């Protein structure tokens, strides 16, 4: 669900990168320092200051640095306004609470597109101004009234090459086939992606998934219940694989490279039938910096340059079609909208999730617990 | 004959069947330690403790069959008086009917019949003390150990309970080993008293023997009061009430003369402190009935005593 | 006014503002939760009727209660042994043990949880060690299931179980135990007939504390349960943050509160709660 904890875990990866020497000490310390500084300034948050910067509500960690370099710098150059962060994680309940309390301290939330569907009609979000933001600079169907997709992340899976070396699994049907491919599986705990994977495995076509047939999906899920674990965070997904707890594990696809590295290539990423999730920017109703400023910020994030920087820095795949064929060669295997993968992926329907997500999560939890 | 009790510091002690023996000493003298060794709660490093010439070394407390009344009573707070008293029989798997009969006897002995179903915290201190006694006697132990059983009671109640204890001792015929630091208690209740000091026995004897024939300054000083005379052939203990006193020149063949320093009136006696040349300050207790003379400070007096009043101490060291 | 002054000590007027403030700070949110459970998404009892309609909720409750009871049982038994050993240790060892106990309070629950995962995981030293000496042919699934949750929770709860017991045991008069031995009771008779009953207030306090804390457990079940052990606390959090069904969350929170209060009430029928919570026993 909107539990995009993987954003937060980029901090962990930041620490990994630092250890591996990919990030120098000064950057790392600056990153750590920035967290403290930004939190303090957000807390101070007086109205005067609010006018000259935009506050982004994200999951902290490395995404602060990446959002700053990929979007913030260009935005500041164009408008003179700064970028600050609230790193507490914009879960749907928290956005609702913030708006309901009347104390809105964030301008733009790095959330899921289906949040725009569920929170928009209830009056918790500002409408996107499509005279500033472009509908063309995202995938069709991913520019909605109250939110626009900026990046994509995907649910793919990795498998143990030692267990299935000669006859590797190729799709979700293989993933759910524990007779042909014996071993443990791991799936995402908050239903998203897991339900789609189950239906694809059960033979539903990728373009005929929605509305999801919950009964069918859940009975498929239950068919491997005894052989599966469920993760709620990217680090759990990672450790279940790396510790050898599962021989096939659903993961956020941007973690694929790390897992392949951490297991010395023993586990391999499969992007076929990867489920593309639109990550979106949404604006809490009554945001302090005003609607114009935040729309310009969102428009900046749509630019090809920003999109490629986000991919490079965070592993998030561009959603602007103009960026697809500019994805560098070295990143194409791990980016779901690269030429190598884009034909094989299946798109998430934010409208269905926005309207049915809550019930779907509860039904899923009921099925697995 | 009861065998020999040995404890640290070469304590050697025979206790007679049925006697009321008191271990008397200041705190830290080892009297409670000795009692705990007898009860089996403390191990001894060498020597022997035996009952009817059978050794008790290595026998755990619960197998020694000694009753014990603890300081503070140590009643079982979650049990009724009845269950407290019957506990020793109950853990011995005695049939319930038998226990009931025995508990009733005990309740009667300590006169707590109407309190049988109360919890200890609903009883007064004196009543708790009686429950502790009944509990310790219920299984008819050959020996009852009492560790300062009256320490928590006020003075008036204590005298009353002393009488009851003596009465009960007479009726049950059990050997009582009684620990106290109160010399009056020791004198008034015991058949024999063991004066303890620094983990060793100072002197053993009947109260009368100890009072009349102390063997050391410590015995003489701890049990009652005493003046000490340092003469050429040794040290003598001289009890204050055994000195006769008269105004200067009025006494027949005075042994010493001196000057009164202070007089304190106590009703039955007056305590006169007399400064002498030969023996320093002496305390003289004057029986007001037999010698109604009033003395005053500064007055010169004659002091007299009979030959056998002064007891030569066998051990004159401190 | 005059009549009132006769009954209320003037001291109360001094503390009244603070008392009211504290009362509001505590009661306000609780009333708010109750109100939410009756008003979100629309006024009525529909949140409560879900309890009867949905067997999911019943199952989550049952899982929660089952895990909490088992956790409480093991934590109290182990905590009892530890407290007993501490009370009977020499002073030096005792303070050593107490330090160890308190240190475990300072270690983050996440760290402890992941330590178990490493220790007892499929590739952990225990499994690999057992495999190496041929005790087992394939790894034992200690983690990512209810057993894992129980291991993690019991471990976390033991210090909480120890402290009330320790306080209780330290206040006991050792002479009472000596008296029991002296009266002919063996060591085990003394323990079961004297020591155990005398430590009952400690056991009850410790069990209450552990049980109530367990009810709110979230991280450990989520991580060690492999996603399949769903307890009320985690479910409430999901309903608050993810599915945004605040009414259901509030209803469950209210229910847990009522459950705890009911438990205290039943307990108060059997014993004086003040003795459990360290008050003087009468």
Per-residue pLDDT tens for A188-214? 999 999 999 999 999 999 999 999 999
Q: Report the Cα C220 to chain-centroid distance in Å.
A: 14
C172: CB partners within 8 A, 6+ apart? C195, C198, C199
Q: Are residues B177 and B248 in the same domain?
A: no
Q: What percent of chain C has pLDDT over 90?
A: 41
| pLDDT in the model for residue C6 | 60
Query: Taking Cα atoms as reference points, which of B234, B235, B282, B241 lies closest to residue B258?
Result: B282
Q: What residues does B311 pair with on adjacent strands?
A: B237
Cβ-Cβ contacts under 8 Å, A358 against chain C: 242-245
Which token pair is A219? 């009975």
Burial class from Cβ neighbours inside 10 Å (0-12, 13-18, 19+) for residue A354 reads buried
pLDDT bin (cut points 50, 70, 90) of residue A5 is: very low
Q: Is the same domain home to B182 and B271?
A: no
Grade residue C273 by pLDDT with cuts at 50, 70 and 90: low
Averaged pLDDT for residues B269-298: 90
Q: Which residue has the higher pLDDT, C271 or B293?
A: B293
Residue A322 near residue A165, CB atoms below 8 Å = no
Asked whether the beta carbons of residue C175 and residue B70 sit closer than 8 angstroms, the reply is yes
- Is residue C194 less than 8 Å (CB to CB) from chain B? yes
Range name among A37-51, B10-24, C94-108 with the lowest pLDDT average:
A37-51
For chain C, what is the mean pLDDT?
A: 87
Residue C276 pLDDT > 50: yes
> What is the reported pLDDT for A60?
81
Min Cα distance C187 → chain B (Å) is 9
DSSP for residue A332: G
- Please tell me the predicted confidence (pLDDT) of residue A47: 41
The confidence score (pLDDT) of residue C218 equals 85
What is the tens place of the pLDDT at every residue in C33-56?
899 899 888 888 888 888 888 888
- Identify the weakest region by mean pLDDT among A137-146, A359-368, B69-78, C42-51: C42-51
Tokens of B302: 């004659």
Give me the pLDDT at residue A51, please.
Answer: 63
Q: Using the beta-carbon criterion (under 8 Å), do C186 and B136 form an inter-chain contact?
A: no
Nearest to B137 by CA among B101, B91, B89: B89
Nearest Cα to Cα of residue A83 among A279, A281, A278, A254: A281
Please state the ipTM of this predicted complex: 0.81
Is it the case that residue C154 has pLDDT exceeding 70?
Answer: yes
Residue of B nearest to C195 (CA): B76
| C193 vs B contacts (CB less than 8 Å) | 87, 91
CB contact under 8 A, A365 and C244: no
* pLDDT for position B233: 83
What is the tens place of the pLDDT at every residue in A305-336? 999 999 999 889 999 999 999 999 888 989 99
Direct distance between the N- and C-terminal alpha carbons of chain A, in angstroms, rounded to an integer: 17
Q: Residue B50: helix, strand or coil by DSSP?
A: strand
**Contacts B40 to C, Cβ<8 Å:** 181-182
A92 chain-C contacts, CB cut-off 8 A: 241-244
Residue C172 at interface with chain B, using a CB cutoff of 8 Å = no
What pLDDT digit, counting tens, does each position of B207-259 carry? 999 999 999 999 998 888 899 988 888 889 999 999 999 988 887 888 899 99
Nearest to A302 by CA among A64, A59, A120, A130: A130
- Lowest mean pLDDT segment, chosen from A193-207, B110-124, C243-257, C258-272: C258-272
Q: Under an 8 A CB cutoff, do C176 and B77 touch? A: yes
Residue with tokens 């508990």: B103
Residues B153 and B281 in one domain: no
Residue B230, domain member (yes or no) = no
Chains sharing 3 or more CB pairs under 8 A with chain C: A, B
| B128, pLDDT greater than 50 | yes
Of C175, C186, C282, the CB nearest to B121: C282
Pair (B65, B138) in one structural domain: yes
DSSP B307: G
pLDDT surpassing 90 at residue B96: yes
For residues C75 and C12, give the distance between their C-alpha atoms in angstroms, rounded to a whole number: 41
In percent, the amount of chain C with pLDDT more than 70 equals: 93
Model pLDDT, residue A253: 87
pLDDT of residue C105: 81
Q: In what order do the strands lie in the sheet with B311-312?
A: B227-231, B234-238, B311-312
Number of domains composing chain B: 2
Angle of helix C232-241 relative to helix C55-88, nearest 10 degrees, comes to 130
SS3 per-residue string spanning A172-236: HHHHCCCCCCCCCEEEECCCCCHHHHHHHHCCCCHHHCCCCCHHHHHHHHHHCHHHEEEECCHHH
Q: Could you tell me the two tokens for A130? A: 């499509």
Query: Best-predicted range by mean pLDDT among B98-102, B158-162, B217-221, C243-247?
Result: B98-102
pLDDT of B197:
87
- The whole-angstrom separation of Cα A314 and Cα A261 is 17
The pLDDT, as a whole number, for residue C186 is: 92
> What pLDDT does A23 receive?
45
**Across residues B8-35, what is the average pLDDT?**
84
Cβ of C243 within 8 Å of Cβ of A359? The answer is: yes
Q: What pLDDT score does A9 carry?
A: 46
What integer is the mean pLDDT of B57-74? Answer: 89
Strand B175-180 to B143-147 pairing:
parallel
Q: Which residues pair with B177 in a beta bridge?
A: B21, B145
Residue length, chain B?
318
CA A247, distance to chain mean position in Å, is: 24
In this predicted structure, which of C186-190, C251-255, C275-279 has the lowest mean pLDDT? C275-279
Confidence of residue C5 (pLDDT cuts 50, 70, 90): low
Residue A6 above 80 pLDDT? no
Highest mean pLDDT among A145-159, A250-264, B195-209, C35-49: A145-159
The C-alpha of B43 sits at a distance from chain C's nearest C-alpha, in angstroms, of 14
- Indicate if the pLDDT at residue A31 is higher than 70: no
With contact defined as beta carbons under 8 Å apart, do B177 and B204 qualify? no
Q: Which of C61, C239, C241, C252 should we substitute to test contact with A (largest number of A Cβ atoms within 10 Å)?
A: C241
Residue C244 three-state SS: coil
- Quote the radius of gyration of chain B (alpha carbons, Å): 24
Q: Indicate the pLDDT class of residue B7, thresholds 50, 70 and 90.
A: very low
In a domain, B317, yes or no: no
Which residue, among A190, A285, A286, A182, has the nearest Cα to A236 in the 3D structure? A190
pTM, 2 dp: 0.80
- B268 and B207 in a single domain? The answer is no
Give the span between the Cα atoms of A152 and A138, in whole angstroms: 10
Give C175's contacts in chain B (Cβ within 8 Å): 70-72, 74
Question: Which residues make Cβ contacts (< 8 Å) with residue A343, sequence separation at least 6?
Answer: none
- For chain A, say whether C56 makes contact (Cβ under 8 Å): yes
Question: What's the pLDDT score for residue A359?
Answer: 92
Q: Cα-atom radius of gyration of chain C, to the nearest Å?
A: 23
Chains B and C touch (3+ CB pairs under 8 A): yes
When CB atoms are compared, the residue of A1, A245, A369 closest to C122 is A245
Cβ atoms B137, B87 nearer than 8 A? no
Per-residue pLDDT at A247: 93
Q: What is the pLDDT of residue A122?
A: 93
- CB within 8 A of A49, min separation 6: which ones? A41
Strongest mean pLDDT among A120-129, B26-35, C123-132: A120-129
Q: Which domain holds residue B294?
A: 240-312
The answer, yes or no, to whether residue B46 has pLDDT greater than 80, is no
Test the C interface: residue of B71, B80, B88 with most C CBs within 10 Å? B88
Res C121: pLDDT = 84
CB–CB of B77/B121 below 8 Å? yes
Which positions in chain A touch C250 (Cβ < 8 Å)?
none
% residues pLDDT > 90 (chain A): 74
**C64-230: CATH architecture:** Orthogonal Bundle (1.10)
Q: Specify the pLDDT at position C278.
A: 55
Judged against a pLDDT cut of 50, whether residue B116 lies above it is answered with: yes
Residues of C in contact with A230 (CB under 8 A): 226-228
Write down the mean pLDDT value for chain A: 86
Chain C residues with CB-CB distance to A94 below 8 A:
241
**Confidence at A267, pLDDT banded by 50, 70, 90:** very high
What is the least distance, in Å, from the CA of C159 to any CA of chain A? 27
Which one-letter DSSP state was computed for residue C173? -
Residues of C in contact with B87 (CB under 8 A): 180, 183, 185, 193
- A76: Cβ contacts below 8 Å, ≥ 6 apart: A82, A83
Burial of A99 (C-beta count, 10 Å sphere; 0-12/13-18/19+) = buried
CA distances from C207 to B150, C67, C76, C201, C263 (A): 40, 13, 6, 10, 11
As a whole number of angstroms, the distance between CA C268 and CA C273 comes to: 6
Nearest Cα residue to A3 out of A190, A171, A224: A190
Q: Identify whether B234 is part of a domain.
A: no
pLDDT score recorded for residue B299: 92
- C281 to chain B: which residues are within 8 Å by CB? 77, 121
Q: What does the block give as tokens for A100?
A: 């309901």
pLDDT (average), residues C93-99 = 90
Going by C-alpha positions, the residue among C167, C196, C213, C170 that lies closest to residue C75 is C213
Secondary structure letter of residue A126 according to DSSP: P
pLDDT value at position C272? 67
Whole-angstrom distance, CA of residue C273 vs CA of residue C251: 28
- The answer to whether residue B318 is domain-embedded is no
Half-sphere exposure of A319 (CA within 13 A, CB side): 31
- B196 in Cβ contact with B202 (< 8 Å): yes
Q: Which chains, if any, share at least 3 CB pairs under 8 A with chain A? A: C
Per-residue pLDDT of A44-90, as tens digits, reads 444 444 468 999 999 887 888 899 999 999 999 999 999 999 999 99
CATH number at residue B262: 2.40.50.100
Contacts of C4 (CB under 8 A, 6+ apart): none
Which of the residues C171, C177, C179, C200 would you substitute to probe the B interface, choosing the one with the greatest number of B C-beta atoms within 10 Å?
C179
With CA atoms as reference, the chain C residue closest to A93 would be: C241
Q: Which of A96, A189, A359 sits opposite C227 (nearest CB)?
A: A189
pLDDT at A282 over 60: yes
Residue B199: is its pLDDT beyond 90? no
Contact A245 C144 (CB under 8 A): yes
Length of chain A: 369
Domain boundaries, chain C: 64-230
* pLDDT given for residue B97 in this prediction: 95
Q: Residue with structure tokens 């959090």? A: C237
Angle at C220 between CA A160 and CA A251, to 5 degrees: 30
pLDDT band at C264 (very low <50, low <70, confident <90, very high): confident
Output the pLDDT for position A96: 93
Domain shared by B116 and B191, yes or no: yes
Task: Compute the residue count for chain C.
Answer: 282
Long-range contacts of B149-153 (CB under 8 A, 24+ apart): B149/B69, B149/B71, B149/B73, B149/B178, B150/B180, B150/B182, B150/B185, B151/B71, B151/B180, B152/B71, B152/B72, B152/B73, B152/B125, B153/B125, B153/B126, B153/B129
Burial of B115 (0-12, 13-18, 19+ CB in 10 A): buried
The whole-number pLDDT of residue B195 equals: 92
Residue A175 CB neighbour total at 10 angstroms: 24
Residues 154-193 of C with CB under 8 A from A: none
Instruction: Provide, as residue numbers in chain C, all residues whose Cβ is less than 8 Å from the Cβ of B71.
Output: 175
Q: How far is the first Cα of chain C from the last one, in angstroms, to the nearest whole number? A: 36
We report the CATH number of the domain holding residue B204 as: 3.40.50.300
Option in C175, C176, C185 nearest B62 (CB):
C185
Q: What residues have CB less than 8 Å from C240, skipping those under 6 apart?
A: A93, C246, C249
Give the mean pLDDT of B73-77: 94
Q: Does B253 map to a domain?
A: yes
Q: How confident is the model at residue B317 (pLDDT cuts 50, 70, 90)?
A: low
Can you list the domains of chain A with their CATH numbers? Answer: 5-152+278-339 (3.40.190.10), 153-276+343-368 (3.40.190.10)
């Amino acid at each position: 669900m909107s539990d995009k904890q993987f954003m937060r875990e980029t901090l962990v990866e930041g620490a990994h990168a630092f250890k591996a020497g990919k990030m120098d000490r000064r950057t790392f310390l600056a990153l750590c320092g920035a967290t403290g500084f930004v939190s303090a300034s957000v807390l101070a948050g007086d109205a005067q200051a609010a006018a000259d910067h935009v506050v982004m509500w994200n999951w902290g960690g490395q995404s602060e640095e990446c959002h700053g370099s990929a979007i913030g710098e260009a935005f500041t150059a164009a408008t003179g306004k700064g970028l600050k962060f609230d790193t507490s994680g914009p879960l749907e309940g928290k956005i609702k609470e913030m708006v309901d309390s009347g104390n809105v301290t964030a301008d733009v939330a790095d959330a899921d597109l289906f949040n725009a569907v569920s929170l928009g009609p209830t009056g918790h979000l500002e409408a996107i101004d499509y005279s500033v933001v472009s509908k063309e600079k995202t995938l069709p169907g991913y520019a909605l009234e109250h939110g626009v997709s900026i990046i994509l992340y995907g649910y793919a899976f990795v498998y143990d090459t030692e267990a299935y070396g000669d006859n590797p699994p190729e799709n979700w049907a293989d993933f759910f086939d524990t007779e042909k491919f014996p071993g443990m599986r791991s799936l995402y705990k908050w239903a998203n992606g897991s339900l789609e994977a189950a239906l694809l495995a059960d033979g539903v076509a990728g373009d005929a998934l929605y509305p999801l047939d919950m009964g069918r999906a859940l009975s498929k899920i239950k068919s491997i219940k005894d052989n599966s674990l469920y993760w709620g965070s990217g680090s759990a997904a990672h450790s279940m694989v790396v510790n050898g707890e599962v021989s096939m594990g659903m993961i956020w696809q941007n973690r694929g490279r790390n897992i392949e590295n951490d297991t010395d290539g023993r586990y391999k990423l499969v992007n076929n039938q990867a489920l593309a999730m639109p990550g979106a920017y949404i604006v809490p109703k009554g945001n302090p910096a005003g609607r114009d400023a935040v729309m310009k910020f969102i428009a900046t994030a749509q630019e090809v340059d920003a999109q490629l920087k986000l991919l490079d820095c965070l592993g998030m795949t561009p959603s602007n079609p103009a960026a697809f064929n500019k994805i560098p060669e070295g990143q194409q295997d791990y980016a779901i909208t690269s030429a190598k993968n884009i034909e094989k992926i299946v798109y998430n329907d934010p409208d269905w999730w926005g309207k049915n997500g809550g019930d779907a999560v509860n039904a899923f939890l009921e099925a697995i617990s | 004959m009861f065998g020999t009790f040995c404890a640290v510091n070469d304590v050697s002690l025979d206790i007679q069947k049925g006697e009321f023996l008191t271990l008397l000493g200041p705190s830290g003298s080892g009297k409670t330690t000795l009692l705990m060794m007898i009860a089996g709660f403390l191990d001894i490093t060498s020597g022997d403790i035996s009952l009817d010439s059978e050794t008790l070394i290595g026998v755990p407390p619960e197998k020694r069959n000694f009753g014990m009344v603890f300081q503070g009573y140590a009643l079982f707070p979650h049990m009724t008086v009845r269950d407290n008293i019957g506990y020793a029989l109950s853990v011995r798997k005695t049939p319930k009917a038998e226990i009931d009969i025995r508990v009733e006897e005990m309740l009667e002995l300590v006169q707590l019949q109407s309190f049988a179903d109360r919890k200890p915290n609903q009883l007064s201190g004196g009543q708790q003390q009686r429950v502790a006694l009944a509990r310790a006697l219920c299984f008819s132990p050959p020996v009852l150990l009492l560790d300062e059983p009256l320490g928590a009671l006020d003075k008036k109640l204590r005298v009353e309970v002393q009488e009851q204890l003596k009465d009960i001792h007479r009726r049950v015929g059990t050997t009582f080993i009684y620990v106290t630091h109160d010399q009056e208690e020791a004198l008034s209740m015991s058949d024999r008293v063991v004066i303890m000091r620094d983990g060793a026995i100072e002197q053993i004897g009947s109260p009368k023997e100890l009072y009349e024939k102390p063997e050391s300054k410590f015995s003489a000083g701890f049990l009652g009061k005493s003046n000490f005379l340092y003469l050429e052939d040794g040290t003598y203990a001289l009890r204050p009430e055994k000195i006769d006193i008269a105004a200067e020149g009025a006494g027949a063949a005075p042994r010493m003369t001196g000057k009164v320093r202070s007089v304190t009136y106590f009703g039955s006696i007056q305590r006169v402190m007399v400064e002498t040349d030969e023996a320093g300050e002496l305390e003289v207790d004057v029986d007001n009935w037999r010698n109604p003379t009033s003395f005053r400070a500064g007055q010169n007096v004659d002091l007299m005593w009979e030959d056998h009043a002064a007891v030569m101490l066998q051990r004159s060291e401190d | 006014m005059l009549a009132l002054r006769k009954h209320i000590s003037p001291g109360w007027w001094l503390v009244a503002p603070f008392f009211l403030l504290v009362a509001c700070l505590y009661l306000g949110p609780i009333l708010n939760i109750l109100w939410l459970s009756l008003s979100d998404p629309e006024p009525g009892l529909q949140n409560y009727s879900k309890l009867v309609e949905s067997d999911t909720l019943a199952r989550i409750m049952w899982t929660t209660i089952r895990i909490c009871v088992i956790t409480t049982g093991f934590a109290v038994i182990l905590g009892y042994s530890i407290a007993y050993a501490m009370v009977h240790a020499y002073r030096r060892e005792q303070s050593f043990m107490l330090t160890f106990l308190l240190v475990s309070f300072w270690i983050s629950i996440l760290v402890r949880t992941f330590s178990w995962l490493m220790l007892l995981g499929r590739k952990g030293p225990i499994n690999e060690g057992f495999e190496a000496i041929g005790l087992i042919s394939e790894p034992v699934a200690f983690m990512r299931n209810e057993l894992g949750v129980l291991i993690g929770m019991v471990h976390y709860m033991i210090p909480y179980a120890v402290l009330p017991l320790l306080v209780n045991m330290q206040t006991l008069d050792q002479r009472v135990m000596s008296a029991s031995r002296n009266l002919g009771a063996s060591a085990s008779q003394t323990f079961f007939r004297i020591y155990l009953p005398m430590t009952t207030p400690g056991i009850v306090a410790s069990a209450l504390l552990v049980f109530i804390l367990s009810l709110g457990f979230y991280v450990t079940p989520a991580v060690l349960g492999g996603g399949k052990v769903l307890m009320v606390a985690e479910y409430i959090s999901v309903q608050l943050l993810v599915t945004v069904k605040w009414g259901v969350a509030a209803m469950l929170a209210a229910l847990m509160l009522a459950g705890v209060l009911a438990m205290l009430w039943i307990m108060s029928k059997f014993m004086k709660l003040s003795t459990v919570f360290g008050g003087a026993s009468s």
